[in-house]
Amino acid sequence: MPSKKKIVLLNPPAWGAIVHRDGYCSSSSKLRYTWHPLDLLLQSGYLQKHHLVVIDAVAEKLSQKKVIQTLRAFEPQVILALVASITVEQDISFLKRISELIPCQIFVSGDFPLFSPARTFDRMPFLQGILTDFTSDALLTYLDQGQKSSQLWLREEPGTEIPRPGPFLSYPLPAHFAFSWQHYSMPFYKQPFASVLFSYGCPFNCFFCNTHLLGYKIRDSGHIIEELCFLKEKGIRNLYIRDATLNGNINKLKTILQAVIASGLKFKWNAFVTPLPCDQELVSLMKDAGCFLVQIGIETGCEEDRVRLGKKITNDAITQTIDMFQTQGIMVSGHFMIGSPFETVAHISETKKFSAQLDLDFISLNITSARPGTVWNQKTNHIQTADSSGNYQISSLSSLDLPTLKKWKRKILVSFYLGKRNVIKTVNRIRTKQDLMQLADNSISFLRSLI
């Protein structure tokens, strides 16, 4: 057994905002909610045999000074840090400072390093390596045995091709409780909740998205049930299933859901899905397994643009899928985007119309960004590029400028959330004092996001 190392899993401080740097998809929080940084969570399962400390400076609202004090006191030999495209300049300068103050090996994970490895090594001469699959044991085997693999690009042997994973996702039980539970919250349910993963990557090919570039692998139901049993024993009742697309393989998903139902474990959970593939059997299984909310990527109200974005799904099919979920009592949040290069004002109006026409429970609207790894990103020279939430966007991909897109965003959100139908629905959802407090909190954040 190799000697134990002191290892820190670090989500660096942001600029006072809540940013998400995990899952190779960086964004800022719209309603000030935050979840467990997935890359670090999954790596904690492998690395907990060492002396492990988790510092999530975003969730815990820690300053750079405080983080450095903690690091100095612990004297880590290894740091695995998140670096994201929306905070890349700040992340690089903070890690540089750490490298000057604390002698240790530094590794990173995130969308910027994965999709721009040459620039990452160039800008970070102190960097040892880049983790290219945060579900893998590559960092552990390198630290314990010096074993090299394509899931960990080292400075001396930098890779360029993102490794395609095999069909099976497997990871050990994460050190869930090394993360401070009280700091993570979601607008939909009461704390605490756990983040779990059923699948990694995505089998589809949406043009604007980089998740499919990771390949796709799915977890065995036995492993999932093991993790759920552990979480249940610890008193967790709410789950955020963190798959980019839960229904990437509906037959396998049905098998997993049947196993969850058969286990008798009762959780309340939400997940992202794509409108198709979906059928009645899947929706019933999801309901019986505890799903209360799905977040559906609709993207646009214009069918022609949706095809251009790589989603060949009609408005009728989307309407049917939403109807199936709502008939089963599962709430639906529709996710839209505006500002794609080919989108016209008329098409944005179609999105506004379609989002109002669908009987959605919530909507989320992003301004299209050049996500790292996508063709749109390759055309830009900016190093800081994407914020899929649109709050800290620095450029527009569309012929419409950013202020115009923001005006449209406000218009669509206000017309949905302050529309009579939504106000009635929202009031009807209030059952307890806590629901009321949560609504007040979300409303304040929503109004702030409009400014």
Whole-number minimum distance, CB 335 to ligand SF4, in Å? Answer: 9
Structural contact between residues 369 and 393, judged by C-beta atoms closer than 8 angstroms: yes
Read off the tokens for 369.
Answer: 């960004």
Cα-based distances in Å from 61 to 118, 187, 308: 31, 19, 40
Instruction: State the nearest-atom distance from the C-beta of 371 to ligand SF4, in Å.
Output: 9
Listed residue (183, 213, 163) closest to 37, CA to CA: 183
Of residues 37 and 275, the one with the C-beta less far from ligand SF4: 275
Shortest spacing between CB 366 and ligand SF4, in angstroms: 11
Whose Cβ is closer to ligand SF4: residue 211's or residue 389's? Answer: 211
Smallest gap from Cβ 447 to ligand SF4, in A, equals 28
Q: Looking at beta carbons only, is 194 or 206 nearer to ligand SF4? A: 206
Pairing of strands 129-131, 291-299: unpaired
CB atoms within 10 A of CB 202: 21
Task: Give per-residue burial for 262-288: e unless 16+ CB within 10 Å, then b.
Answer: ebebebebbbbbbbbebeeebbebbbe
For ligand SF4, the closer of residues 129 and 297 by Cβ is: 297
Within 10 Å of residue 173's Cβ, how many Cβ atoms?
A: 13
Least distance from ligand SF4 to the Cβ atom of residue 35, Å: 17
User: Of the two residues 47 and 213, which places its CB atom closer to ligand SF4 in the complex?
Assistant: 213
Minimum distance of ligand SF4 from residue 271's CB (angstroms): 12
DSSP tag of 223: H
* Sign of the dihedral defined by the CA atoms of residues 301, 302, 304, 309, in that order: negative
Going by the DSSP 8-state scheme, the letter that residue 151 receives in this structure is: T
If the CB atoms of residues 342 and 418 are measured against ligand SF4, the closer one turns out to be: 342
Cα distance between residue 286 and residue 305, in whole Å: 30
Q: Which one, of 199, 288, 281, lies nearest residue 243 by Cα?
A: 199
Rounded to a whole number of angstroms, the minimum distance from the CB of residue 208 to ligand SF4 is: 7
Positions that interact with ligand SF4 (CB under 6 A): 202, 204, 206, 209, 211-212, 244-245, 274, 297
Q: Which is nearer to ligand SF4, 124 or 209 (CB)?
A: 209
SS3 state at 287: helix
